[in-house]
Structure 1
Amino acid sequence: MGKHAKPAGKRAAGLPGSGTPASGTAGSATPGGVAARGGTPAGGTAGRPVRCRPLPVRSTVRLRRPVDIWHKPALSAFVAMAISDATLFALDQLNLVLYTSAGALCALYGHGLPYAARARTLPWVVLGMVASLGLALTAGSLISSTALLVGCAALLAAVHKMVCDATRIGPPGNLIPTFIAASAFFVPQRLGQVPVHLATALGAGALAWLVCMAPALVRPRGPERIATARALEAAAALLRTAPGPDGSGPAGTGHARHATAAAVNAAWHTLFLVPARTPSKAAARAGLERLLVRAESALGWPAGVARHAGECAGEHGGVEAGRLDGWARELRRGRPLPEVALSTAQAEELAGVAAEGAAWAGSGTGESGLRRPAPGRPRGIRAVAARLAPGSPLLPIGARVAAGCALAGWASMAVGVGHPYWAVVTAASIYQANTTLSWQRALQRTLGNLLGLLLFTALLPLIHTGRPAMIALALACQLGTEACITRNYWLGSVWVTPMALLLTEFGSRQPAGALVRDRWIDTVVGAAVGLTCCVLVTNRRAANRIDSALERVADAEAAALRLLTAGAVPRAHDARETGWARDRLTTCLVELREAVEVAAGEWWQRALPEERIAHAEQQGHRTLAGLVRRLPAPAPTV
């Protein structure tokens, strides 16, 4: 139960998702959509008019290509839930399915992370899930007021949203813990039962960790190979970008260049998480870094070179694009790393880089000569705390979630639904990075839930045949969710709805007619009230985030230009600084584009500084191209 969008910088950091990311749909806010609204003076922000932006309807139900690794979280969750359910069935304790599902569904997270980082991240996911479940069960056992329970569930849903976005844990984000906790608030519970139920969830979470780590026995370098393959594919697409009709520049180059920079940046952050403590591991990582530098070099090529006769580094763009695609296929198929040819001058320079790297590290470990992340940026808990500090753009989103979920739950109570947790979950699920994406998600959620209820009704005769059929259907729906949700959220919701109903049915049976009626009322009320709160509680800080991002881009570009003016060819001792400057500038450009797309999707927002944004991105990518041409490939470790 979740969405798995292709990482684009912010997702792959482990956040992974997204985060938000990747929470959007086709036809949402785009750079072109921003420019179409008219420009503003390049200087300052004062005096800009407030613009009311229309909410789109097109493309809401359009299907997309599935994400390349959708099957990994799908199979992991399927296996974890199947083992847990089979164990409970053998013990005749299927009333505990909700608690084991809380731990088993943690297997959906972390599949973009290398296994070493995944091993560290998943325990935090499990502990967070169990802590949320414990709060919900304790509150449910002590509080008798349904209205107060709705308020508690809304506050916890807001915490889930902000923490998942701040940690950038990635898909499925806050949806899973919010569904589990909101359900648990309304499960009949005695306080003495809570420890046993939490232990059950913790055991299923440990099983989920084992399932997610098991592929490391077969393909220990799979995640970093996939991240590198994505960067190669994005670079190939950039090289094939068609020239514009006037011949002055390629059409769509800005989008392709940003996509390449984001994919390369995400791949570097993935490789930075890969330990290289032994010569063999360092050699494997160095091979991926050499491929990644080759993909990165596309950012320094003339735009649209594949469609012109121009040459760059002795390679025709079309030939190079085909070569990059071929290497990406080799990586995805698990074949040996391809050899990347280097010139004599590059080889000599790289030997100096490796020697300097070993001296700088102060040891002869296998990590000498490998690129390292740029210093100066907070990481880990400090980075999360910085993203949640006062003034954070996540705070208005948290306020939206808390207000929308509480009002949706109370409105559901007012129309006669006794356990309105589904309205809380519906409201929480529609809140995305901006109003535009939330509007689309509300439409998708309503459509998907309606079709899901029809599917559940059609399956009722099979469900009533016994518990084994219920288990089999729940597992099938889980697999269907992951197979469909990256194509479009509404299609995944068709499978989410019957699975969620089945999970709650294991604990206590309810009349089918009343169950379907209540869920439909909760869906409509949750989507309508949640979207209303989303429109009323506008994120006015979104435009301020652009101003901050522009300042960071300017600072990173100035530092890069100082480095570029030092000499046309880097010496061995400043190759590391060149790499760090590239990392900083790429990250700042990716964050600027992310901030622009978030702000552009707010329906009520002051006019954006389009001219400053366009100038900053153009100059930033030119400077980045200069750094890429200057930056050497990593030295092979032997």
Structure 2
Amino acid sequence: MTSAIPFDQHLRRVRMPVRSALRLRPLGDIWHKPALSSVAALALVLFALLAIGRLDLVLYAATGAMCALYGHGLPYAARAKALAWTVLGMVSSVGVALVAAALTDSIAIRVAVAALLAGLHKAACDATRIGPPANVVLTFMTASAAFVPQRLSDVPAHVGIALLGGAVAWAVGMAPGLVRPDGPERIAVARALESAARLLRARADDQDDDLHQVRNAAAATVNAAWQTLLHSPAADRRQGLRRLLVRAESAAARASADSPTTPARALAADADVLLSHAHELRRGRPLPEPSAADPRTAAAEQAELAGVASEEGVPAQGTAFRRFLMDMARGWRVVMRVSAGAGVAGWASMALGVGRPYWAVVTAAAVFAASTTLSWSRALQRVVGNLLGVALFTLLAPVTRLGALALIVTVLAMQFVTEAAITRNYWLGSVFVTPIAISMTEFAGVQPVSVLVADRWVDTCVGAVAGLLACVLLPDRRAAQRVRDGLDRLERAVAEPPSAMQKRAARDRLRADLVELREAADLAAGEWWSAALPQERIAAAERAGHHRLAEPAT
């Protein structure tokens, strides 16, 4: 049994950060991939519609084309399936929204449909872990479709256009595989090498305060790299990447030991070697060959590779399926919370007389995150980004109204910049997303700038408040329980006999349990209405888990 802690202690324990929420991060390492893909897919459909004089169909074609944003971290075999399911989900949702728009003129009912779809999008994206941009783009395109004047007889044709746009997105997303078929696997292993190098440097520089965080980040990155490689069908290319990834594991294990025997200077030198290998991978050069290791490390790495070969596919499938079932089991709570916040936002916007309540629905859905603290950060980022974004749209409006070509070029330019900016911070990306969202309405007809700006700003504020209230009033009361469940799993994994730890599957489960516990603990710490977390037990379990991984797999 757990008891809730006093209200005032909750408020002291959960922080609502401002500075950290707005702090800019380094530019993402693969931002150009979704940027180029989305611009290419949008350009193809927009210029095709311009050529036939049917820019009134932009919304339907763009719903499918925007699917090109997804799946860029997946190997191409897995990406093909993920993109296909994303297109199917997008087109199906748009079809439901268009039918609702055709069957009723009631704004309140359309808001309800858009809000329910927003909740379903969030639950599905969480369960499948599709990655950025997750549910936001799905909800934006679907909610927009729910408010387009529609006749029931036109719905099949409009859904067909969306499907064609999705086919374009699928082709664009898969095209790079013709040039660099192992590109995603290379990037995943490069990230693991870089994270192991950071851990080595933290140990060499004696940064004990940061060591725990860096060690957890390394475990998560290595785990993600293994999942990527195990989704790759190209066994010949995987083998060389596996050797590099095992070397990253060996380095991380050496740095995670309580008293590493390697001198600090040697640790720093090893970090430089790992970074050099990562650079070679990112540049598309021939796979680097790890240097000879000491006999004990070499034997451990060979045993690791043999274990991977003999147990290939088992841990990845088991872990992914287990996590999927866990997420689906609590998916109804996500649907309820997101739909409630989005619905309230849309109805409030409607009551205020705003012409586009679907913008409020999208904002509320975008604000919703895994904890109250994260939702607060997202709400703040959304408001700041949209405020600056409406100002940017005001400056761009004279250009977009020079003609259809100018409007298309502006949308494409903003889309490209968005993908770079959003990797630095969500608010910075929102600055450039906002002109896109407003400009998309211009394809159906020019409207006064003052009206568009006022609608967008009011909907942003209403949606942010409603989404944040939904997170506060409907908290995830099972957050602390998931931490305790994760603790139990990790402690059982650590207690496995030494012989079990020699098996690849057992070590992969241990690493996955470490990652899942850290994710659950971070999210629960940001939920304001939950039992106090057993921080000492969490720290002890994580320390024991890392020590077990540091033991040679021989």
TM-score (norm 2): 0.93
Q: Contact 1:110–1:170 (CA<8 Å) still a contact in 2?
A: yes
Structure 2 SS opposite 1:219: coil
Cα 1:407–1:344 shift into 2, 3 Å: closer
Cα separation, 1, equivalents of 2:317 and 2:437: 44
Matched, 1:516 2:469: no
Cα separation, 1, equivalents of 2:412 and 2:375: 29
Cα separation, 1, equivalents of 2:145 and 2:23: 34
Q: Deviations over 1:265-303 (max 9, x none)?
A: 000000000113xxxxx2321110000000001232144
> Of the two structures, which has the highest relative contact order with CA contacts closer than 8 Å and spacing of 6 or more?
1
Shift of residue 397, structure 1, vs aligned partner = 3.2
Which amino acid is the alignment partner of residue 446 of structure 1?
V
Cα 1:514–1:336 shift into 2, 3 Å: same
Shift of residue 494, structure 1, vs aligned partner = 0.8
Shift of residue 527, structure 1, vs aligned partner = 1.0
Q: CA RMSD in A?
A: 2.5
Cα separation, 1, equivalents of 2:138 and 2:162: 12
Cα separation, 2, equivalents of 1:309 and 1:580: 26
Structure 2 SS opposite 1:252: helix
Q: Contact 1:309–1:316 (CA<8 Å) still a contact in 2?
A: no
Matched, 1:601 2:542: no
Cα separation, 1, equivalents of 2:402 and 2:257: 61
Alignment of 1:250-329 (within 5 A): 250-276=208-234, 282-303=235-256, 310-311=261-262, 316-329=266-279
Which amino acid is the alignment partner of residue 405 of structure 2?
P
Match for 1:622 among 535, 547, 550? 547
Q: How many residues align?
A: 549
Match of 2:39?
Answer: 78
Shift of residue 581, structure 1, vs aligned partner = 1.2
Matched, 1:431 2:368: yes
Cα separation, 1, equivalents of 2:257 and 2:26: 25
Which amino acid is the alignment partner of residue 254 of structure 2?
W
Cα separation, 2, equivalents of 1:213 and 1:483: 21
Match of 1:396?
Answer: 333
Shift of residue 562, structure 1, vs aligned partner = 5.2
Cα separation, 1, equivalents of 2:252 and 2:296: 21
Matched, 1:182 2:143: yes
Q: Deviations over 1:139-189 (max 9, x none)?
A: 010011111111111111000001100110000000011000111111001
Which amino acid is the alignment partner of residue 252 of structure 1?
D
Which amino acid is the alignment partner of residue 290 of structure 1?
R
Shift of residue 418, structure 1, vs aligned partner = 3.0
Cα 1:154–1:556 shift into 2, 3 Å: same
Q: Contact 1:139–1:149 (CA<8 Å) still a contact in 2?
A: yes
Which amino acid is the alignment partner of residue 251 of structure 1?
D
Q: Deviations over 1:86-139 (max 9, x none)?
A: 100001011111111111110000000011111121100000000000000000
Q: Contact 2:364–2:468 (CA<8 Å) still a contact in 1?
A: yes
Q: Contact 1:353–1:369 (CA<8 Å) still a contact in 2?
A: no
Match of 1:161?
Answer: 122
Match of 2:285?
Answer: 335
Match of 2:103?
Answer: 142
Q: Contact 2:204–2:267 (CA<8 Å) still a contact in 1?
A: no
Q: Deviations over 1:206-231 (max 9, x none)?
A: 11111111111111111000100000
Structure 2 SS opposite 1:301: helix
Q: Contact 1:272–1:373 (CA<8 Å) still a contact in 2?
A: no
Structure 2 SS opposite 1:479: helix
Shift of residue 353, structure 1, vs aligned partner = 8.6
Structure 2: runs of 5 or more not aligned = none
Structure 2 SS opposite 1:251: helix
Cα 1:587–1:84 shift into 2, 3 Å: same
Cα separation, 2, equivalents of 1:422 and 1:351: 55
Match of 2:85?
Answer: 124
Shift of residue 58, structure 1, vs aligned partner = 2.1
Q: Contact 2:475–2:529 (CA<8 Å) still a contact in 1?
A: yes
Matched, 1:100 2:61: yes
Q: Contact 2:375–2:471 (CA<8 Å) still a contact in 1?
A: yes
Cα separation, 2, equivalents of 1:349 and 1:588: 22
Shift of residue 377, structure 1, vs aligned partner = 2.1
Cα 1:455–1:383 shift into 2, 3 Å: same
TM-score (norm 1): 0.82
Match of 1:384?
Answer: 324
Cα separation, 1, equivalents of 2:202 and 2:532: 30
Structure 1 SS opposite 2:22: coil
Which amino acid is the alignment partner of residue 253 of structure 2?
G
Q: Contact 1:400–1:537 (CA<8 Å) still a contact in 2?
A: yes
Alignment of 1:212-251 (within 5 A): 212-242=173-203, 250-251=208-209
Cα 1:290–1:92 shift into 2, 3 Å: same
Cα separation, 2, equivalents of 1:256 and 1:508: 52
Cα 1:240–1:544 shift into 2, 3 Å: same
Match of 1:27?
Answer: none
Shift of residue 522, structure 1, vs aligned partner = 0.8
Structure 1 SS opposite 2:208: coil
Q: Contact 1:396–1:537 (CA<8 Å) still a contact in 2?
A: no
Cα 1:383–1:240 shift into 2, 3 Å: closer
Structure 2 SS opposite 1:374: helix
The structure with more helix, counted as a fraction of residues: 2
Which amino acid is the alignment partner of residue 280 of structure 2?
E
Q: Contact 1:228–1:292 (CA<8 Å) still a contact in 2?
A: yes
Alignment of 1:188-203 (within 5 A): 188-203=149-164
Cα separation, 2, equivalents of 1:261 and 1:203: 41
Q: Contact 1:430–1:441 (CA<8 Å) still a contact in 2?
A: yes
Shift of residue 60, structure 1, vs aligned partner = 2.2
Cα separation, 1, equivalents of 2:388 and 2:360: 17
Match for 1:507 among 434, 441, 444? 444
Cα 1:131–1:403 shift into 2, 3 Å: same
Q: Contact 1:114–1:273 (CA<8 Å) still a contact in 2?
A: yes
Which amino acid is the alignment partner of residue 322 of structure 1?
D
Which amino acid is the alignment partner of residue 212 of structure 1?
G
Match for 1:480 among 412, 417, 424? 417
Shift of residue 560, structure 1, vs aligned partner = 5.2
Shift of residue 456, structure 1, vs aligned partner = 0.9
Shift of residue 242, structure 1, vs aligned partner = 4.8
Cα separation, 2, equivalents of 1:139 and 1:329: 51
Match of 2:357?
Answer: 420
Shift of residue 348, structure 1, vs aligned partner = 8.0
